Amino acid sequence: MASSTSAPWWLPLRHALGRVRRRFALDTFDIFVRRVGPSDRDFDPHFEATTKDGKSAGSYRFAWGTPADILGCDAHHTELDERERILGARRLEFGHQVVVVFHAQTVVFSMWVNPRNLNVPGALKRALDPHQAFIYKAFTSPEHRGRKLYEAGMRFVLADLARQGKTELVGYAHVKKDVSRKGLAALQFETMGRFRVLRLPGFQTTLTSAELRRNFPKKVQRSRTAERLASPSPPERIPA
């Protein structure tokens, strides 16, 4: 007759800790800044991409997107589904901008610009100074990656800031987002602080570094308008 042994007393505790660990998330992001220089004015919006070995990879055109451009985007090439396209078109009406890149007549890259706030939805919202702008939500079509459209998109924004007399472009990236960080490093962005987002079941908080608080001291009240904006009857206001 086979003998049975009872489970160790600590096994249920181990299983419980495993469940908690799987529901625990800590994400770390760095804030970056790039000073605008006189040479940043010299960006040609008609961009000839090349491969790593110097061969032509196609012609692209950079432009500031219109609501019609955003509403006409393809989800595959821009990651903007119907709700995001509606939200994006309304966002433009309230002062945000979007860089779009055309390959022939198709938008294959988009990147958004906030002129007022460093705003990472659900995590952080701080006021910018008048001489700053914040870039966020960049996406390149899978078929057009590896052609430095992200770097060129940032150069397009820097050229516009130089013409406006603004002096700093602000961005951010997750510590594990190697592609984004590589693009920021290529343009010599420098860190301006760090924040961490801690998520537990029913709880979330953002922890900011002293450097971030020093460089962006003014908190801005968060709004839930963004979630309501793309509903069947969107409100008239959108968060800055």
Tens of pLDDT, residue by residue over 71-113, are 999 999 999 999 999 999 999 998 999 999 999 999 999 999 9
Q: Per the domain annotation, does 20 fall within a domain?
A: no
Structure tokens given for 102: 């055309």
Task: Tell me the C-alpha distance between 100 and 87, whole Å.
Answer: 16
Nearest to 101 by CA among 52, 49, 56: 49
Domain CATH for 143: 3.40.630.30
Question: Could you tell me the residue range of the domain that residue 80 belongs to?
Answer: 25-222
166-195 pLDDT, tens digit each: 999 999 999 999 999 999 999 999 999 999
Q: What is the tally of structural domains in the chain? A: 1
Q: Per the domain annotation, does 105 fall within a domain?
A: yes
Q: Per the domain annotation, does 6 fall within a domain?
A: no
Structure tokens given for 203: 């709880």
Task: Tell me the C-alpha distance between 121 and 136, whole Å.
Answer: 10
pTM given for the model: 0.83
Q: Per the domain annotation, does 151 fall within a domain?
A: yes
